[in-house]
Amino acid sequence: MKPLVSVVVPFFNEEDNVAPLAERVAAVFAEMPDYEYECLFVNDGSRDATRARIEAEREKNARVRPIHLVKNRGQSAALVAGMRRAKGDYILTLDGDLQNDPCDFPKMLELLKDHDCVCGYRANRQDNFVRKISSKIGNGARQRILKDGIRDAGCGSKGFRRKCVEHIISFNGVHRYFAVMMRNGGMTIAECPVTHHPRVHGVSKYGIGNRLWRGIHDLIGVRWLSKRYVTFQVEGEE
């Protein structure tokens, strides 16, 4: 039986990006016959036509599984909702703004053969100055405090073996700390450079106010959680 890959994508007011992203994902898997796939498109309470566009993609492709959150709960909630409902042996995540590229899936899946988690980093980041500088400061602070060894925690291109999901605790902003959760759970992590495109449609949902300062504030809680995190093994279970 072919391994199943679950592609989880959160969308919030990204009506013009749904169809192009679905097409790109389908094109990539058309070149990977050794894998089956499903797309979990998570509508995070969008107020535009995102919901209708996702439903339209399901009509065209049975591999698309729409998930609609009742209210807008943020990127982390949308990702966790999708990951917990994924059926795949592997889970790959992308942002819904077309800045990440499914063309990176083959090398991420190759790394997942030997690692539990793969974190992409944007080697040639295509963002404005505000987003770049806030991310740089936030990543630097995170690395100094948490020492997670990840250079680009905010990159949406990530991959996981299915067992990783049980180590993710849901809170606002957790997607920037997935690697910390994996290390807490004893999972192995690899990094790889990924493609990053300029945003063409829609507007960014992040800036200094809700990205930098909130992220630094979260470090206090995540550091405490990491020190208190407990793992266990039951006799007779792997």
Q: What are the tens digits of pLDDT across the range 6-25?
A: 999 999 999 999 999 999 99
For residue 237, tell me if it sits in a domain.
no
For residue 234, tell me if it sits in a domain.
no
For residue 51, tell me if it sits in a domain.
yes
The domain in which residue 50 lies consists of 4-228
Is the pLDDT at 172 greater than 70, yes or no? yes
For residue 34, tell me if it sits in a domain.
yes
Is the pLDDT at 205 greater than 90, yes or no? no
Q: Look up the CATH number of the domain holding residue 66.
A: 3.90.550.10
Mean pLDDT of 98-113: 97
Is the pLDDT at 167 greater than 80, yes or no? yes
For residue 235, tell me if it sits in a domain.
no
Cβ contacts of residue 45 below 8 Å, gap of 6+? 12, 69, 70, 71, 72, 73
Domain count, the chain: 1
Going from the C-alpha of 10 to that of each of 13, 96, 147, 156, the distances in angstroms are 10, 6, 27, 10
